[in-house]
Structure 1
Amino acid sequence: MGESIQKNKKINLFLVLAGVFITNALIAELIGGKIFSFEKTLGFEPLNISLFGDFLLQFNLTAGVLIWPMVFITSDIINEYFGKQGVKKITYITVGLIAYSFLAIYLAMKLVPADFWLNVFATDSQGNPFNINEAFQKVFTQGLNIIFASLVAFVISQFVDVYVFHKLRKITGKNKIWLRATGSTLVSQLIDSFIVLFIAFYFLGSWPIEQVLAVGITNYIYKFVIAILLTPLLYLSRFIIDKYLGKDFSKQLQEEASAASGSKLF
């Protein structure tokens, strides 16, 4: 395979992985303000297990957890083929784009609403009085808290993920990608889950500590299970990537990525 073809394939692979990573991270930030009942969504009654005094253990999750596992899975795939430099690069880009989104939402909240817009949505679907601008403000105010908290948690958890991934890689070598990928994801998501909730809903919000812990535990249980279930996706992704790159070039990238000093990204 010619050097220019290899370089193009490497760039294309990074762009696709980066696109998946950034898209999932940004969407997770925007929908993270909604708390939903996992049990009721599936048609079951909440578990209602007593936990932390008056708070019950129910699977009330932030909507963002639906796709956050994809962020960490993609991060592990980037780590596998592009090493620490690749993960750091995409992390910094994502943080910049999320910060930009934060600013755009903040400015949108400061805009004076048009009268006709308020009148068109003056009532809800049941005919009750409704202030759409107030609803917009409440949804996105909570969303801003989530975005700020997630930025802090995201950076910390990403670097923890990279650290654990490479520590496990030294032990497993090129084999057992499931162990280093799933292991690093489980550790990093434990940190991510609680940092986000503590900052967004405890320090910047009004949740009591018991509620933060209860939701944090259920969030992590969900992420733990999903991380395990997504393990086959790692092998499928690796199979597709290896077919695209070619066996020899794929092996070369993985060896470069595993080097302690890392390699030149492009």
Structure 2
Amino acid sequence: MQALAISDSKLQERRERVFLLLAGFFLCAMTLLNVIGITRFVQVGPMQLAVGVLAYPLTFLCTDLISELYGRARANFMVTVGLVLNIFILGIMWLSNALPAIDPGIQPPWQTLPLAGEVGLPNGTSVQGNVELFSLIYANTAGAVLASMVAYILAQYVDVALFHWIKQKTQGKHLWLRNNGSTLVSQAVDSMTVILVTFGAVLLAGEMSWAAVLTLMASNYIFKMVSALLDTPIIYGLVHFLRPYLGLVDQQETQA
């Protein structure tokens, strides 16, 4: 009834604003993963997590909401935009590393860090002595960005495809099933891929054990799994509010 009292232009404006908001949160969480990535690991209860992972479960909530409210094409469009941004971030990082640094004599003092002893890096190399801050960050994050991009491609498209496959099989019923089912499977793909690609070099070099890798993998997945289960009432509440707010009361209309 609310949608009948609102003009089509107003409804369209609402739909685009909500889509922009959801896409913004999605892209922000994805970018955080790339920017802060594995720069720090934190202990969250029994789980050992890279700080970049903390906001990442939000991407699956946004993907499922857009899939439910706007349809598969919009969800895939947002995922594709995220892929382009991943490539852009990786390209800017590569270019910044390739360009020559300014003369050490005029560099600000915080741009160079003195390291106590030799420090191993995720790409299998090691550094020691005075090291440029950007070089250290690049060595720690460039591989993680590539890993997150590979995991992103696999996980996010799997999430959208599985969400709509379950929705079709259940004839649009059981939102909890397609929300959790698609997310739990796609996050397993994401957790395994990102850890293996990020730490593959040091694992093969024998500088990191399989036990440590599996611990990180399990911690990542458990955190994402718990987050997915906890967001079930959130997605129900948001869909219940947003469908009439966006004029998508009819189930067929949500497919558009």
Q: 1:120 to 1:185 in 2, by over 3 A?
A: closer
Q: Please report how far the alpha carbon of residue 148 of structure 1 lies from its aligned counterpart in structure 2 after TM superposition.
A: 0.9
Q: Which residue of 2 aligns with 1:77?
A: 65
Q: 1:36 to 1:199 in 2, by over 3 A?
A: same
Tell me, what secondary structure is at the counterpart of 2:95? helix
Q: Which residue of 1 aligns with 2:109?
A: 119
Give the AA of the match of 2:252: E
**Structure 1 segment 98-247 matched on structure 2, within 5 A:** 98-111=86-99, 112-115=101-104, 116-119=106-109, 131=130, 133=132, 135-203=133-201, 206=205, 207-245=208-246
For the residues of structure 2 that align with 1:150 and 1:104, how far apart are their CA atoms? 16
Tell me, what secondary structure is at the counterpart of 2:71? helix
For the residues of structure 2 that align with 1:173 and 1:150, how far apart are their CA atoms? 33
Extract unaligned runs of 5+ from structure 2.
Answer: 1-5, 115-127
Cα deviation, 1:220-263, whole Å, max 9, x if unaligned, reads 11111111122222123224423532xxx2224x52444xxxx4
Tell me, what secondary structure is at the counterpart of 1:250? coil
1:4 to 3, 6, 9: 9
* Greater shift in the superposed pair: 106-115 or 201-210: 201-210
Q: Which runs of 4+ in 1 moved over 6 A?
A: none
Taking only aligned residues, the RMSD between alpha carbons, in angstroms, comes to 2.6
Q: Please report how far the alpha carbon of residue 91 of structure 1 lies from its aligned counterpart in structure 2 after TM superposition.
A: 0.9
For the residues of structure 1 that align with 2:241 and 2:129, how far apart are their CA atoms? 50
Cα deviation, 1:17-51, whole Å, max 9, x if unaligned, reads 11111111111121212341315xx6xxxx6xxxx
Extract unaligned runs of 5+ from structure 1.
Answer: 48-58
Does structure 2 conserve the Cα–Cα contact (< 8 Å) formed by 1:37 and 1:61?
Answer: yes
Cα deviation, 1:155-208, whole Å, max 9, x if unaligned, reads 111121112211221344444322211221111000000111111111477544
Q: Please report how far the alpha carbon of residue 7 of structure 1 lies from its aligned counterpart in structure 2 after TM superposition.
A: 2.2
For the residues of structure 2 that align with 1:123 and 1:180, how far apart are their CA atoms? 48
Q: Which residue of 2 aligns with 1:20?
A: 25
Tell me if 1:91 matches 2:70: no
Q: Please report how far the alpha carbon of residue 95 of structure 1 lies from its aligned counterpart in structure 2 after TM superposition.
A: 0.8
Give the AA of the match of 2:43: F
Query: Structure 2 length as normaliser, TM-score?
Result: 0.80
Q: Please report how far the alpha carbon of residue 211 of structure 1 lies from its aligned counterpart in structure 2 after TM superposition.
A: 2.6
Tell me if 1:64 matches 2:61: no
Structure with bigger strand share is 2
- What's the % identity of the aligned pairs? 28
Does structure 1 conserve the Cα–Cα contact (< 8 Å) formed by 2:38 and 2:140?
Answer: yes
For the residues of structure 2 that align with 1:120 and 1:138, how far apart are their CA atoms? 13
Query: Structure 1 length as normaliser, TM-score?
Result: 0.78
For the residues of structure 2 that align with 1:148 and 1:202, how far apart are their CA atoms? 12
Give the AA of the match of 2:218: I
